[in-house]
Amino acid sequence: MKRTLLLCLVASLLWACGGDKPKKNKNTSPMDPPVITNNDEEEPKIVLTTEQQLQVDVNQKIEEELASKKRVDKLICGFEFGMNVKAMKRHADKMINRGNMRKINKKISKTKTKRIYLYKMPFGDKKNRKTIDTDLDTELKSGAITKVMGTMRTPRGQSTENTLQQTKDLFTEWYGAPAFELPNMNNCARYIWINGNRHIDLHCELQGVVFTYSDLTDELPSEFAPMPKNGDEDNNGENQIDVSDTDHRLK
């Protein structure tokens, strides 16, 4: 009887020790790191069009110039940012006496006329340089110049695009190469110069070639390519580039 009980006890112990063990995965190794499951969705990558990337580059250049605290107040025909009305008229009379400007009364309605200053702006290459009548207008805030606008009267036999390109060459002679060439405007090229607080925009309008000198500390230029918001779909990915694309500054 004791022998039988002893055999049963041994059999029970052998069964307990030989029970099921966890099965090893043949494809894993003891050195493999634990697998961590991340259920967080990856944020969508913002993709910009070529024009939007150009807008980013322009904004960055403006920020850099403003951060430098550099001031450039000299404008076309000797005018300057900050000139008050009295100083502006005195300077215009001086330019008229020198033969660089003339003034006319322009009819703006049946009963009103406006005094317009015409700047005899240099035009053409250095060897055959002539002048072209350019309407100059100013914008004042708190009685001081913050913006000067010019509208060039396209000479006979010249196209608007050709007039713009010759003006671009003249500005390059005066101020160096443009900082950027922007997307075409009114079927013409568009160029900007950025130097400290001074911003120059050269482009075409219906009335002809137009340039604007503006003070960036007073007003920032309008964006030509609005930035997308997260989740926006733009052109189904056509003509799009990553934000890391190279800048578009003219070298």
Residue-wise pLDDT tens digits, 56-69: 999 999 999 999 99
Characterize the bridge pairing of strands 130-141 and 144-152: antiparallel
Residue numbers of the chain with a pLDDT score lower than 70: 1-44, 108, 229-251
- The rounded distance, in Å, linking the Cα atoms of 233 and 241 is 13
Instruction: Please name the residue ranges forming H helices in the chain.
Output: 2-17, 50-67, 85-97, 160-175
- The model's pLDDT over 72-84, given as tens digits with 9 standing for 90+, comes to 999 999 999 999 9
Domain ranges for the chain: 70-219
Give the torsion sign (CA, 29, 34, 40, 46): negative
Which residues have C-beta within 8 Å of that of residue 114, sequence separation ≥ 6? 105, 106, 107, 108
Instruction: Round to whole Å and give the CA distance between 45 and 230.
Output: 8
